[in-house]
Structure 1
Amino acid sequence: MSSITKQVIQLSAEVPSELGGQRLDQVAAQLFSEHSRSRLAGWIKDGLLTVDGSVLRPRDIVHGGALLELNAEQESQGEWVAQDIELDIVYEDEHLLVLDKPAGLVVHPAAGHADGTLLNALLHHVPGLENVPRAGIVHRLDKDTTGLMVVAKTLEAHTSLVAQLQARSVSRVYEAVVVGVITSGGKVDAPIGRHGQQRQRMAVVAGGKPAVSHYRVLERFRSHTHTRVKLETGRTHQIRVHMAYVNFPLVGDPVYGGRFRIPPAASPTLIQTLKEFPRQALHARFLELDHPVSGERMKWESPLPDDFVWLLSLLRQDRESFEQ
């Protein structure tokens, strides 16, 4: 196991006159913006963020000219093993990295997956990530979903990326092959929560968290559609749940796939591929966000993986053979 290490954080700032008269937690959030409000409030309550050497409460008023001093330690976020697992890194600088996740890689350790995860690989690639919440992972992809993910390498980047995700300013666009022929694009605005009986599943439920997906048609086949889905929110299994909810479940989805469908008189190769497709046909194709430090708008694209390309080529052949 990796030993727990601590990152010493020492910061000081004088309260400018224009911030005088505000609550301590509000002033601290503006002067030390690389840290989240909740983290700063915790440090204030623990007496680690002082005003002119005195311990105050988060709601206490501070005046212009006061000196804020922060002396804190950020403990590593867990006793996780760093493992040398190959990563397909698309972009990296000192603040963040963007990677292309393969199918079969679990993102975060959990019951049944104590190691061998993306998090373990990240700790080996960037050891300092043990001092960042969840080792810098700010959003997830399901084990068998492929494509682009962004990881924060510093606390400052983590705070910025979480805020962008909450503000819905991160653009995440996926491609999927679904069962059924979609006539036109649409929007699914349906709340998602835990399934009432099967706790491992998510479902559209009345008391769930707001969830919005936009889908459009890229290519139609005889019994399937290649679609592009843009997320407004990022709920667990969102695209899989939403597309099944509108009766266009993903090919190969073992949980939400529903009734198996084969085009009439399809070739044996296509039938076998559809029956044995080893995962949900879902790929995180495009990612766009503001750089957490420079503010520059950045975008990345990931090519479709081989199994996805093969499936599309067979569906295309099937359609063309019946058009002649």
Structure 2
Amino acid sequence: MTDDTTGTHGATPQDTAPDGERPLVELRGAGKSYGNIRALHGVDLNVRPGKVTCVLGDNGAGKSTLIKIISGLHRHTEGEFLVDGTPVRFSTPREALDQGIATVYQDLAVVPLMPVWRNFFLGSEMTKGPWPLRRLDIDRMKRTADEELRNMGIVLDDLEQPIGTLSGGQRQCVAIARAVYFGARVLILDEPTAALGVKQSGVVLKYIAAARDRGLGVIFITHNPHHAYMVGDHFSVLRLGTLELSAARSEVTLEELTHHMAGGTELAALKHELAQVRGVDVEELPEAEDLQTPAAASPEGKT
């Protein structure tokens, strides 16, 4: 348990965000090798306050490795990793969290049978009273959790209910609100809509936009280009550990993003083979040259 007089309780993201448009987090030619296996290579990424940076890619594209570098689980082995313009090499996730970089994983790190308010403060409980008679300040934690959830637009009738009884979308939103409350400036969301239906995915996307509007820099990891395009300001597509596409929203359409995400060049190369399969209409399949967007074809399109 932690004392309520210390830490970043109630910190406002805008208070700690850098001035102007300087990136909160920046990768320059970053990569990671595990022995002879190069999992990530030459990745450039900028995360700015009040912006959603979407990182897309199929299984094995390097998304998990990228998350581990930024969140402090693994150190990069090539390139540069900068926070507020200063090169860093995190050794633990705690060091990343101390810099305001919080990660919400798919498993959410919650205890299903514990109440919502207890999960909100899990590992950072508020206490009261003199040592050695300190005890949990339950009333304050309930009041604070309710206030912070409402600030994010999340209204729960009963904070005593086990968090496991909430829908998947609601649990994701509680995790986002918790990260915001504890001082996150950069919020990494690991496939938050992967196991959700259409309605619950919409709920999560709504709160991703709310986090952006509060001034956070959001890294939205996903394999769904439609979800990414709904809230994204910048799109980075990884393929086999390298950056295939880096483009602002104004530089790429949803169709182009979908083609890159799906490996459009390879799909175009298969057009001839598919044409020989009975019942398959290949007329609408793209040609390889149709998939070269300005952002992907020229260095100027990369950020």
> Shorter-chain TM-score: what band?
under 0.3
Q: Which protein has the bigger helix share? A: 2
TM-score by length of 2: 0.25
Instruction: Give the number of the structure whose alpha-carbon radius of gyration is greater.
Output: 1
TM-score by length of 1: 0.24
